[in-house]
Amino acid sequence: MLAGLALGFGLGFVVGAQVGPITLLCIRSVLRGSFTVGVAIGAGAAVVDTLYGALGIAGASRLLEVSALRIGLGVTGAVVLGLLGLRTIWSAFRIRLGAETEDEVASPLRAFLTSLAATASNPLTIASWAAIFSAASTADVVTSTPAAAAMLAGIGAGTLTWFTILSGGLAIARRRVGTRFLRVVDFAAGAALVAFAAVLGYGALAEESAQ
């Protein structure tokens, strides 16, 4: 069980540390808001990673073999990320440092729900964790229900730990951030989110047209 917990923690930490939509969302949200908002975003990602890991154990990755479901998830993920990206770009031109409204700087609960939607809507998330658990099973790491549960707990803890560290560093750096830099971060994060959405949406639509 300890081996599964340690492996899960390492996987959650490393996967969480990869630059992706949720990392970009966390960066701009902490710089605009607070440390707790970033932790809330990390908690949302940790919940989804853990749940998708559980689905991977259960063999639910086979559902992605259903083309209609896979395409639907891809389009949904593209829409969610695209809207987040466009909103972020909009804020780069509209809001100055320290003048955000309550609606623009998400509360921890709102940030948590946004993170859940953004992470869960990406079909690559469940595919990635399904592949990880398949490899873990082959390597005899997940050999029992307690070992699998320990690995899942480790994944959630590892993901949350990374986002907590990231949010802490950003919260400290926020004190030295000026309006111009904040706008650059918003624009860059928004553009990257739109790019992620475009790639995901193109892949889904291309697959649909090929059928």
Digit-by-digit pLDDT tens for the chain (211 residues) are: 777 788 889 888 988 888 788 888 898 889 888 899 999 999 999 998 888 777 766 665 555 565 666 677 667 777 877 887 787 787 766 654 444 444 444 688 888 988 888 887 766 666 666 666 666 554 555 566 787 788 889 989 999 999 999 999 999 988 887 777 777 887 887 888 788 778 777 776 776 666 6
**E strand map for 57-171:** none
- Helices 67-94 & 21-32, crossing angle to 10 degrees? 30
Q: Enumerate residues 6+ apart whose C-beta is below 8 A from 98.
A: none
∠ at Cα 103 (97, 108), nearest 5°?
Answer: 90
pTM for the full predicted model: 0.74
Place of tokens 């975003």: 41
d(CA 39, CA 171): 11
pLDDT for the residue numbered 44 = 93
pLDDT for the residue numbered 163 = 95
pLDDT for the residue numbered 168 = 95
| Residue whose C-alpha is closest to residue 53's, from 149, 158, 160, 161 | 149
Q: How far is CA 116 from CA 62, 80, 88, in A?
A: 22, 11, 18
For the record, the structure tokens of 89 come out as 């770009």
d(CA 159, CA 154): 8
pLDDT for the residue numbered 24 = 86
Q: Enumerate residues 6+ apart whose C-beta is below 8 A from 153.
A: 5, 8, 50
d(CA 192, CA 190): 5
- Under the phi-then-psi rule, with left for phi > 0, alpha for psi from -120 to 50, and beta for the rest, what region is 97? beta
